[in-house]
């Protein structure tokens, strides 16, 4: 079975400078894949090539097994795209705009009416169908933009900063909509808001300095950095020297509320040894857990490792 999206040895040069070099990744199933990267890393170039807005210098892109250079029309029928600035015609009504979007995608005339009804319902804008787009709020305009991206039921939907400029309530609604869309489509989601990627994505692709520096699951991304620290709470907190005497503990930070942070060199059975020592010496251990790496820290580390 063909991957939904296959990017192979993708490279592009502006004048004498390579914007991206040897980009490789695949999307094989429905769900959200987050596309990350610093400004200027090559993210937008990659998305523009995938969408067919830019012809690559080298490499191949296939959607559902179709190469854009072999059959650009068939290729683009497999894709829905919402750029950062939604391509809306403000003097159209919502229904007129969606009908026009369907025609642009060369959908059969007899199927357009049903397709419009379906996306109006999916994006919860049926009640706005007769409203001029210029009279809609930012949240509803974004829903119209998403509706046009899925009207032809593409295998791949590409969303570039889809919650940019929305208020907190609109962001929550947009995220729910994206989750629903991802049940029926593969979604490539670009965002600078890491918390959004963390909430929506199952996999992450990160580009820095024009190359893929990470391509794996969200869990794997969050585990790139190993903090090597344990958070411990004990009602009878021992002294720093007593804690440093525990094998593999190299640093102790005393914290409020009977807590401390233990830095260690290895954690083969450290938690179990602390539990036993607490029981033997009546330290009254109430909590112990490994600290979770913050997603921002992983992004920062990968960016600094590979940026030029």
pLDDT at res. 116: 97
Per-residue pLDDT at 96 exceeds 90 = yes
Q: How confident is the model at residue 226 (pLDDT cuts 50, 70, 90)?
A: low
Element (DSSP H or E) covering residue 102: helix 94-104
Per-residue pLDDT at 308 exceeds 60 = no
SS3 105: coil
Cβ(5)–Cβ(63) below 8 Å: yes
Q: Which fold has domain 5-222?
A: Rossmann fold (3.40.50)
pLDDT digit string, tens, across residues 256-300: 999 999 999 876 789 999 999 999 999 999 999 887 666 777 788
Domain boundaries in the chain? Answer: 5-222, 229-292
Distance in Å from the first CA to the final CA of the chain = 38
DSSP string for residues in 50-105: HHTSS--SEEEEEETTEETTT-HHHHHTTEEEE-SS----TTSBHHHHHHHHHHHT
Distance CA 121, CA 258 (A): 53
Selected residue with higher pLDDT from 59 and 224: 59
Selected residue with higher pLDDT from 284 and 225: 284
Does the domain at 229-292 match CATH 1.25.10? Answer given as no
Residue 282: CB atoms within 10 Å = 11
According to DSSP, the residues that pair with 259 across neighbouring strands are 233, 255
**8-state DSSP, 291:** P
Q: How confident is the model at residue 154 (pLDDT cuts 50, 70, 90)?
A: very high
Average pLDDT over residues 5-19: 94
Cβ(226)–Cβ(197) below 8 Å: no
Per-residue pLDDT at 26 exceeds 90 = yes
pLDDT at res. 306: 65
Q: Which single residue is written with the structure tokens 């995608």?
A: 105
**8-state DSSP, 132:** B
pTM of the model: 0.79
**8-state DSSP, 233:** E
């Amino acid at each position: 079975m063909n991957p939904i999206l296959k990017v192979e040895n993708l490279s592009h040069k502006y004048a004498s400078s390579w914007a991206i070099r040897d980009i490789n990744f695949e999307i094989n199933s429905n769900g959200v894949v987050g596309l990350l990267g610093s400004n200027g890393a090559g993210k937008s170039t990659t998305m523009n090539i995938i969408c067919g807005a830019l012809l690559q210098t080298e490499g191949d892109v296939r959607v559902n097994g179709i190469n854009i250079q072999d059959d650009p029309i068939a290729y683009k029928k497999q894709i829905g795209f919402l750029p950062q600035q939604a391509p809306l015609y403000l003097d159209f009504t919502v229904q007129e705009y969606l009908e026009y979007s369907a025609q642009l995608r060369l959908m059969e005339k007899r199927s357009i009416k049903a397709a419009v009804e379906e996306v109006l319902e999916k994006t919860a804008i049926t009640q706005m169908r007769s409203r001029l787009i210029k009279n809609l709020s930012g949240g509803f305009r974004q829903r119209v933009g998403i509706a046009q991206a899925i009207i032809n039921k593409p295998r791949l939907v590409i969303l570039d900063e889809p919650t940019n400029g929305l208020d907190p309530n609109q962001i929550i609604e947009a995220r729910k909509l994206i989750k629903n869309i991802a049940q029926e489509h593969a979604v490539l989601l670009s965002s600078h808001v890491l918390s959004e990627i963390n909430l929506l994505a199952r996999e992450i692709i990160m580009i820095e300095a024009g190359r893929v520096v990470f391509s794996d699951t969200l869990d794997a991304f969050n585990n790139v950095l190993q903090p090597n620290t344990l958070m411990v709470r004990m009602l009878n907190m021992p002294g720093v020297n007593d804690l440093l005497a525990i094998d593999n503990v190299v640093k102790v930070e005393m914290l409020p509320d009977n807590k401390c942070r233990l830095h260690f060199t290895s954690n083969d059975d450290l938690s179990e040894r602390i539990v036993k020592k607490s029981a033997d010496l009546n330290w009254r251990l109430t909590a112990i857990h490994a600290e979770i790496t913050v997603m921002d820290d992983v992004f920062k580390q990968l960016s600094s490792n590979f940026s030029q």
